[in-house]
Amino acid sequence: MLFHANIIPLTGTALIPHGTCYLWKPSLVGLHSVSNGAIALAYAAISLTLIQVFRKRPDLPFNWLLILFASFILFCGISHAIDIWTLWHPDYWFAGGILALTAWFSLGTATATIALFPQVITFPSPQQMAEKNRQLQKVNGELQKERQFLQALLGSLSDGIIACDAEGVLTLFNQATQTWHGLPQKTITAEEWSQYYSLYRTDGKTPLPKEEIPLFRAFQGETVRDEQIAIVTQEGEARIVLANGTPILLPTGEKVGAVVAIRDITEIRKTEAALKESEERWQLVLEGTGDGIFDWNIITGETFISPQFKANLGYRDEEMENTYEGWESRVHPDDLEEVLERIQDNFAGRLPQYTAEYRMRCKDGTYKWILAKGIDRRDEAGNPLRMVGSLQDITRRKYTETALKESLERDRVIAENSSDLIATQTLDGIYLYISPACRSLLGYEPEQMVGRSLFEFLHPEDATALQKTQTLIHQLPERYTHSYRMRRHDGSYTWLETTHKISRYSTDENQQLIVSISRDITARKQAEVAIVTLNQELEQELDDRKSRLKNINRLYRSVLNNVREVIFQTDKTGRWTFLSPAWESITGFGIEESLNKPFIDCVYSEKDQQRIHTLFRDLILEKRPAWRYEFRSPTKHGNFRWLEIYMRLNLDGESKSHFGAYGTINDITERKQAEAILKARADELAKQQRQIELQNLQLQEASRLKSQFLATMSHELRTPMNAIMGFSQMLQTQQYGELTQRQQDMVSRIFNNSQNLLMMLNEVLDFSKLEAGGIEPNPESFDLGKFLHLTVEELRSLADNKQLSLRVNLDLPHPIITSDQNCLRRVLVNLVSNAIKFTNTGGIKVSAKEMDNEQIVISVEDTGIGIDTQDLGTIFQAFRQVDQTLTRQHSGTGLGLAITKSLVEMIDGTIHVESQVGEGSVFRVRLPKSATPP
Ligand code: ADP
């Protein structure tokens, strides 16, 4: 009611509600209410839908009509809603107003619809629409695809694409551009571009003003062509880009935006620079090497050959025509066929690349070797169109190759004929080649060794060492030498000295080889072993000698220190350079104070000094090798010593030059004193000698007188002795009266004693004569054999008396000798008589033997009493008898052997005796076969 009361004042009228007409019948009121409500809702929904269509499809033709329809339907819906309101509220003015509005919109809509009718009926039918729609969708799909493709294209384009719309808002920003700039964060106008993007002039430093930005210029209507600018990317990297821009204009001329394509030419720039550099380098290389290039147009025959290559052949550029013929005419005729064949092989696909070596004629008529390489370009059908390649002057290489071939051949001949073992091995020692010398050095055939490893043949001890070396092979010098033993085929070992050379002709390790030359050094090794042994022996010897030398040195020192002799050295000027310690003890002067002083200072008298000076000078001048001199020398104590100096030249053993003198000094003072005493004694002796000589003369005279007296006396005595003997013999004959037995005995004794006395007198006389030199030998030739027999026979009766045998034994091939027969007879008689006299049993043997052509030995041998050794020396002296007692058994004067000796000596002989007491004696007389005449 409150609601109702409020309405009424608004309307200001008092009408009845519409429900009243329906009598407030609930069903009728309900029917109207619900129907009107449903219609209102439906109309509102349709209106809203139409508005929605209008909004969503601005493209529909006459879509404003939809708004009209929507308004008209909406007002219709409101009218129905008001109808519900007026059931209870009689606001008919309000309802009428709404209705009027609805009418207005309906009329307007109807008018418009009618006006548009002719056009609307031309609208396609739904089928047509569907068909159109389908086509449209198809086109749409294609457009969509194309759009996606374009977007993908734009995305994948390395060029950056930026576009803006008519307002200058950036509408397209492809992937490449995003990588440079990043996505735009907000809508920015063309005016602000220069602030948001890092764009610079090509120097990369000067920021690009807004007016110069290509998109801005295109947006302003300008067409931008190949404009270079620099962009600093989000990563801070400067890129040089080429921008092309254009405004987007509708056919009507309306400007709807602008687009710019940006190409990053940084790499191109770099490549261009590199290419330029490379071209320059290539050009330089071509110029430097003299190599050239060619470009042969196979179709036209035009053949470009680089000028520097022509120059290499001696041609100026224009002198060698740029045609195929220009080239062909200069190829050596002998090579041309093969070159053309190779070109054809390349064209025919048999060779992937054209390569040929041939000679080309130079301007001066000589030929140069060329290495040509080329590749061809073909058309689609595979026909060659063009060939481009290089020309290289390989003349030097060709000559080197020829020389190399010759050298290799020479090497092969040398290797095959060398007595050294020449081999090629891989780095791990496998023989690739081995020279025939392996037969003589190792006993293998070359093919038995090739393919096998050096280590198979090595002595185990050497293999280890060599293996170590091999592991260091890359550090080794190019050439190195080893000695090792290799096993021969017969199992023995040969020492080889091998020089290895690594041929580093390639950096590829597998292609490196070792060339080796081995020489048999077995003999040298054996010699080395011998030398080592010898060396050891020598060292031992050296050690021994050193120790001996040490001992000698020690000895020498002690000798020097202890010897009483001074040992000295002087230089060439005669100054002491060395003095042994004895110097000080002899002279009293210290060695140090004496050294370097002239040695002549130690000589006292001027005469000696002069003499010694001369001697020393002669020594130094090598006129005499050594000298000795005795002189008096003053001592430090003020007295004198007699010294004897002996000096020799001090010669260098090798150079034979001398460096002064050396020698000894002896203190001869005592000797000199002894000599003085001796001299005094000698003088005394000489005096005595003279006296003795005088006495001797006197004695000789006395002896001569004695001999003379004896001779005279015995001579004188012999006469009365002969008378005594003669008369006593006469008495014995009893012619002058009978004699009693006693008288006969007495006369007989007188006779015997007289006979003995006479014999003694004769001997004394002989001796005296010999002593006085009164007998001269009288040599004559006679037969010694006969002589001996005769003489012995004269004495046989004496032997027989004593019943002794008497034999003669001769060994005389040449019995004739020359001697004094009388002397010899007396010698023999004396010796045989003595033998008989001093022999009681046994016998006597007389023998003679010829010793040589010169001498004869006569011996008288008995078996008698013999002679004591102590008497042997005296029996040849006068009056000497072994038994000198008065009771002796054997008579004699003791002169017999003395006379015998004198007689033997007179005939140039000698006499000796050998005897032993009780055994017998042998007297031997040695005589010259031919006595020297007096
Ligand atoms: P004598 O007249 O004494 O024989 P000799 O001069 O002939 O003198 O001999 C000297 C001494 O030599 C003898 O007295 C004797 O002792 C000794 N004598 C000499 N001949 C022999 C001999 N054949 N056998 C032993 N003694 C001998």
Residue 821 has a CB neighbour count (10 Å cut-off) of 18
Write the pLDDT tens digit of every residue in 759-811: 888 887 787 777 777 678 888 999 999 999 999 998 999 899 999 999 999 99
The whole-model pTM stands at: 0.33
Euclidean distance between CA atoms 388 and 375, whole angstroms? 6
**Residue 760 to residues 659, 752, 756, 868: CA-CA distances in angstroms?**
82, 12, 6, 25
Is the pLDDT at 7 greater than 90, yes or no?
no
Write the pLDDT tens digit of every residue in 128-171: 778 877 887 888 888 888 877 777 777 777 778 888 888 888 87
Average pLDDT rounded to a whole number, residues 218-243? 86
C-alpha 834 – ligand 1 centre gap (Å) = 6
pLDDT band at 240 (very low <50, low <70, confident <90, very high): confident
Torsion angle, alpha carbons of 158, 160, 165, 170, to 10? 120
Ligand 1: residue of 764, 838, 912, 917 to mutate (most ligand atoms within 8 A of CB) is 838
Ligand 1: residue of 795, 834, 903 to mutate (most ligand atoms within 8 A of CB) is 834
Residue 287 pLDDT: 67
Q: Which atom of ligand 1 is nearest to the CA of 898?
A: 6
Residues having CB within 6 Å of any atom of ligand 1:
834-835, 838, 862, 864-865, 867, 875, 880-883, 892-897, 921
What average pLDDT is seen over the chain? 85
Is the pLDDT at 582 greater than 60, yes or no?
yes
Say which DSSP state 362 is in.
Answer: -
Residue 83 has a CB neighbour count (10 Å cut-off) of 20
Write the pLDDT tens digit of every residue in 516-542: 899 888 888 888 888 888 888 888 888
Residue 510 pLDDT: 56
C-alpha 8 – ligand 1 centre gap (Å) = 234
C-alpha 299 – ligand 1 centre gap (Å) = 162
With a CB cutoff of 8 Å and minimum separation 6, the contacts of 296 are 302, 303, 304, 324, 327, 374, 386, 387, 388
Euclidean distance between CA atoms 518 and 482, whole angstroms? 9
C-alpha 912 – ligand 1 centre gap (Å) = 14
Euclidean distance between CA atoms 834 and 889, whole angstroms? 13
Is the pLDDT at 421 greater than 60, yes or no?
yes
Residue 372 · residue 351 · CB < 8 Å: no
Name the residue at shortest CA distance from atom 19 of ligand 1.
834
Ligand 1: residue of 798, 827, 881, 922 to mutate (most ligand atoms within 8 A of CB) is 881
Element (H, E) at 480: strand 479-487
C-alpha 725 – ligand 1 centre gap (Å) = 26
The 3-state DSSP class for residue 913 equals strand
Q: Which residue has the tokens 């041609």?
A: 315
pLDDT band at 887 (very low <50, low <70, confident <90, very high): low
Residue 591 · residue 584 · CB < 8 Å: yes
Torsion angle, alpha carbons of 133, 135, 141, 144, to 10? -80
Average pLDDT rounded to a whole number, residues 259-280? 81
Is the pLDDT at 8 greater than 60, yes or no?
no
Is the pLDDT at 846 greater than 90, yes or no?
yes
Write the pLDDT tens digit of every residue in 316-362: 988 989 899 989 999 999 999 999 999 988 888 888 888 999 999 99
Residue 285 pLDDT: 67
